[in-house]
Each structure stands twice: as structure tokens, then as C-alpha cells.
Amino acid sequence: MFLAILFLATAGRPPTGAASDGRPRPRFAFVLSEEHGFRVDSRTGMVTKDMVIGRDTTSALRLSRPDIRAIEDKCRKWQLMRVREPHPRFVGPTGSQDPAFWWTLEVWMDGAHRRFLWSTGAIPTETAEWHALFAVKNKILNLVLNRPEYLALPFPRGGYL
């Protein structure tokens, strides 16, 4: 009974602290944000929706353990922790985008921390590192933007030109 209660109390949160042999436990967490207000933080279980003209809205959004694992697996598959900071080498551009937005992705995994920052204003030549960064960002966005909690938030007013 005690083990079941302990398991339920810790489910859904990234493990912290040390294992019984004193070694640090693997840990995974992320924060993805965009300069106008969108932000999802797996550590706090909160998401902020950019309301453009209106006041941004923050709400609880606890991703399931399988969702967190899927994002972690994507980070491992694309070796995100080996990608250069603050962003992959810029080769190009192959195009531009207007309006442009600044994105930040922070990832904590296996005791390491990476912080990536990039703008969508210039589209870089696709490299393995850029592909890795975009694959992880898109995985997070696809999971978050389709969650019932996020879809229930008010619809933003206005737009960016």
C-alpha cells in the first residue's frame, strides 16, 4: 500500500535528487517560449497562451508521462544535447519570414542543461542540428496545442503583421 501511494505521489514529475547509491538520477524537463507570450514549462505544469491584443492567459497543463517521454525520446533521437548553443550554425539563409518571432527552448536532461534561442526571420539552410531543434520544438507544440486544456483557453484577438 505504501509503495502504491509513493508511486502515485511522484508520477508525472521529473525525478530529482540522488539514487540510493548516491549517483544523480536522470532528469528531463523543458521550457519552450516565444517572445510574444506563448510559454510551456514542464517543470511547473503551466502553459501561457499569447492573446495578441488581450492579456495573455496562463493555465495548468500537466503533460502525461507518455507525452513527456515522447519529447524526451525525440531529444535523444536527434541528440539535442549535442546541438551548439545558442543555436546551430547559421548557413544560408534560404528564405525569410515576416513577421518574425524569437523562440527559446531550454532542456534539462541527464544532468545537462541547454538553452537555445533563434528567430524565425531568416530561414536557415537545413542541417542536422537545425532539424533536431525544429523536430523537438514541433513535437512539443503538437502535443501542447492539441491538449483539451489548451484548446479550452480563450481564442486570441488580433494578429501579427
pLDDT in tens, 31-61: 999 999 999 999 999 999 999 998 999 999 9
**Secondary structure letter of residue 152 according to DSSP:** T
Q: If pLDDT is split at 50, 70 and 90, which confidence band does 4 have?
A: very low
- Please provide the DSSP assignment of 41-74 as one string: ETTTTEEEE--BTS--EEEE----HHHHHHHHHH
Amino acid at 119: S
Number of domains in the chain: 1
Looking at the domain assignment, is residue 6 inside a domain?
no
Q: Which pLDDT does position 23 carry in this prediction?
A: 47
Residues 93, 122 contacting (CB under 8 angstroms):
yes
Look up the CATH number of the domain holding residue 83: 3.30.1560
How far apart (Å, rounded) are the C-alpha atoms in residues 111 and 118? 24
What pTM was estimated for this model as a whole? 0.80
CA 82 to chain CA centroid, Å, is 17
Q: How confident is the model at residue 90 (pLDDT cuts 50, 70, 90)?
A: confident
Q: CB burial class (10 A; 0-12, 13-18, 19+) of residue 118?
A: buried
Averaged pLDDT of the chain: 83
Instruction: Determine, yes or no, domain membership for 55.
Output: yes
Domain that holds residue 117: 25-151
Q: What is the DSSP letter of 133?
A: H
Q: What value does the mean pLDDT take over residues 14-29?
A: 54
Determine, yes or no, domain membership for 160.
no
Q: Residue 114's closest CA among 45, 31, 12, 15? A: 31
DSSP state of 81: G
